[in-house]
Amino acid sequence: MKINNKNIKISKKTFLRKPSKVMKLNRLGSFHQTRLSFCRQLVNQLKDNNWIFRVSEWNIDKNGIGNAIISSNDDENTYCLVVFCHPINDHDRSDRVIAEKWDMTFSLFLGEPTQTEIDYMSENLKVQEAGHHSSKQMTLSRANKSVRVFNNILSSLSKGKQPNKTLINDIGYLVRTTAVYGNGKFGIGDFDNICENSFLKKPFQAEMLTVYLIRFFSIKLINFLAKMKGGTASVKLSDEISKHIGVGNATGLGMAPFLINHPELLHKWINTRETAISRVYAIEKIDTNQQNEIVNLLQRALNYTNQWKVDDQNQSTRIKNLQLDLKNIIDDPTTKILLSDTYPLKNIFNFFVDQISLETEEILHSIFIEPFSNLFEDLTDEMGTFEKQSVPIKYKVKEIINIIRQNYNWALKINVNDKKENHFFWYTSQAKLEPRLGIQEQDHGSEKQLPFDIAHQVQNTLKILESLPKNITISEVMINYPETRNIIRRIVINNTSEYSEIQDNLHCDKTKPIDILRCKLSFFGASKYDPKSDLWTRITLFQGAPLPHQLQEKNACNWIFPYLSDA
């Protein structure tokens, strides 16, 4: 439901939540998809700009082996997903990013590739990082079939039957990616060289388009193979089930350092989300239609959580608490009373906040943002940034000390001499160049750890600063004490970008890297988080999103909290 700003009265006063409340791992690890998420932004662009999609090449045999090209066009350019399907053994399929064989490999190509370029990619895409790639390639990706679901659907369709909805819902995808690389990695096109395309100015749109086209291809492939196997007796996957098919993804520690290494970008994302929340809390009145939309979204969220099945015991408990919380909010007559009063969304949240979990708090924010898309159209242009590696030299020692005491009080409270606060260390594997998490008392190599011990660095730097004359510049400090350079840069960034720092000790024994993963994945637009440990999770992207032929339907862009009826 798209609501016009003219129908909404907003208070001039809006307040953002404090970083001390937002930037805790347990809260960041409770975020859900919102209208601001990058996959949601992509679908909005596809609809608004009338993108055209077609299968421009299909050289797939009856066994599902071969190559294909899926073309997509906006007003400016053509973007082609180049696909290669490979024969592999079952034991070669892996969720690990370090796997060397995959059912499918992909690249999003700028323009229409020539046959020479296709032949070149046929040799190099299958080896992914080990290959040589063209600057016209915008992304590099690979995926494996979810064999149980893929074979079940293929069998059903070839016999003229739709597949079992429960199985579809429990898995949610036909294929699962293990990586979607962009921005110049492994020789593909660098973002700086292609960002002039208006479509690409928003973050991660090339990667999101890649995943959207992989989803489209996976559905085309299953329908094709069912036809090849069952002939005239076969049927195509229904639109209802097709729409519920997303793309799976297995995400591990490799993603975690991104948010730590990009503090300015982290601030942009969180600040945008918090600004959106503050705007909905500043809405003074909503009409009956808008009230009904909130109630419908609460029910939709409950239906979604009822179909969110995981094996992880901790996440299962969180989901059960979320279900109970949502049901209580829906059933409590106070909800409808507050919806018709002033500042309805703010007051609903304040009324229930002491009764609900963090998971519920953050899903409420997704619900409250959802109906008011016009209030946030300016915010989606604010989620990228040009990050500077240099530090302004105007600061004096006394100013940095003041910033530390004001913004890093959380870091100063940590007992860095406690073994529990020094349990983990982060490093990069020399063999696979992938981030890893070591345990201080078990693993060697802590002397080569990544600089993620923020609290330790803050405390050490404060001691150095307090021993120096207060009016010398930080440039002098960094020259004479090079070990302070990293943290002083972060401190300076945090002075103007208050959401740039995770306010927990990432070396603590209680740290769960999956919270960092989930935070980033929520901005991608993930759903159905399925943790496999504290270090990695499976998720689904684009589940419930409109297929290309559905983009111009009414409410096509309103696909939050997908659930499958009668599943």
Q: What is the DSSP string of 8-65?
A: -EE-S---PPPHHHHSSHHHHTT----TTSHHHHHHHHHHHTT-EEEEEEEEE-TTS-
C-beta separation of 171 from 527 below 8 A: no
136's CB contacts (< 8 A; 6+ apart) are 109, 110, 111, 113, 117, 189
Return the DSSP state at 253.
G
C-beta separation of 427 from 438 below 8 A: yes
**Region 368-380 average pLDDT:** 93
The residue among 310 and 435 whose pLDDT is bigger is 310
What percent of the chain has pLDDT above 70?
95
pLDDT tier, 494 (very low <50, low <70, confident <90, very high otherwise): very high
Please provide the size of the chain in residues. Answer: 567
Helix (H, G, I), strand (E, B) or coil at 380: helix
pLDDT tier, 90 (very low <50, low <70, confident <90, very high otherwise): confident
Res 372 pLDDT > 50? yes
Strand pairing of 173-181 and 246-251? Answer: parallel
Res 10 pLDDT > 80? no
Helix (H, G, I), strand (E, B) or coil at 111: coil
Average pLDDT, the chain: 92
37's CB contacts (< 8 A; 6+ apart) are 522, 523, 524, 525
Of 148-152, 197-201, 315-319, 398-402, the poorest mean pLDDT is in 197-201
pLDDT at 449: 92
**For residue 393, which of 453, 474, 505, 299 has the smallest C-alpha distance?**
474
Res 29 pLDDT > 60? yes
pLDDT at 231: 97
pLDDT at 538: 94
Cβ neighbours of 149 (radius 10 Å): 23
C-beta separation of 359 from 318 below 8 A: yes
554's CB contacts (< 8 A; 6+ apart) are none
pLDDT tier, 190 (very low <50, low <70, confident <90, very high otherwise): confident
Query: What is the rounded distance in angstroms from the CA atom of residue 256 to the CA atom of residue 437?
Result: 11
Query: What is the rounded distance in angstroms from the CA atom of residue 553 to the CA atom of residue 164?
Result: 26
pLDDT at 141: 95
Helix (H, G, I), strand (E, B) or coil at 539: strand
**For residue 362, which of 61, 28, 138 has the smallest C-alpha distance?**
28
pLDDT at 2: 42
Nearest-Å Rg of the Cα atoms of the chain is: 25
Question: Residue with structure tokens 């989901």?
Answer: 319
pLDDT at 566: 82
Res 191 pLDDT > 70? no
What percent of the chain has pLDDT above 90?
81
C-beta separation of 59 from 122 below 8 A: no
Res 66 pLDDT > 80? yes
397's CB contacts (< 8 A; 6+ apart) are 465, 468, 469, 470, 471, 472, 473, 474, 477
Res 262 pLDDT > 50? yes
Of 24-33, 142-151, 251-260, 293-302, the poorest mean pLDDT is in 251-260
**For residue 169, which of 299, 305, 316, 323 has the smallest C-alpha distance?**
305
Res 3 pLDDT > 50? no
pLDDT tier, 194 (very low <50, low <70, confident <90, very high otherwise): low
Query: What is the rounded distance in angstroms from the CA atom of residue 539 to the CA atom of residue 248?
Result: 6
Res 195 pLDDT > 80? no
pLDDT at 541: 98
67's CB contacts (< 8 A; 6+ apart) are 57, 59, 60, 82, 83, 84, 85, 118, 122
Helix (H, G, I), strand (E, B) or coil at 80: strand
**Region 141-159 average pLDDT:** 96
Q: How far apart are the first and last CA of the chain?
A: 25
Q: Which two tokens stand for residue 41?
A: 């932004």
**Region 361-365 average pLDDT:** 98
Phi-psi region of 367 (alpha: psi -120 to 50; beta: other; left: phi over 0): alpha
Cβ neighbours of 398 (radius 10 Å): 15
pLDDT at 387: 77
Query: What digits encode the pLDDT tens for the residues 466-482?
Result: 999 999 999 999 999 99
Of 97-106, 450-459, 518-527, the poorest mean pLDDT is in 97-106
The residue among 45 and 255 whose pLDDT is bigger is 45
pLDDT tier, 196 (very low <50, low <70, confident <90, very high otherwise): low
pLDDT tier, 1 (very low <50, low <70, confident <90, very high otherwise): very low
pLDDT at 8: 74
pLDDT tier, 200 (very low <50, low <70, confident <90, very high otherwise): confident
| Helix H or strand E encompassing 196 | none
Helix (H, G, I), strand (E, B) or coil at 415: coil
* CA angle at 16 for the pair 323 and 339, rounded to the nearest 5°: 50
Res 459 pLDDT > 60? yes
Query: What digits encode the pLDDT tens for the residues 497-521?
Result: 999 999 999 999 999 999 999 999 9
C-beta separation of 152 from 164 below 8 A: yes
**For residue 40, which of 391, 537, 380 has the smallest C-alpha distance?**
380
C-beta separation of 273 from 366 below 8 A: no
Query: What is the rounded distance in angstroms from the CA atom of residue 16 to the CA atom of residue 436?
Result: 34
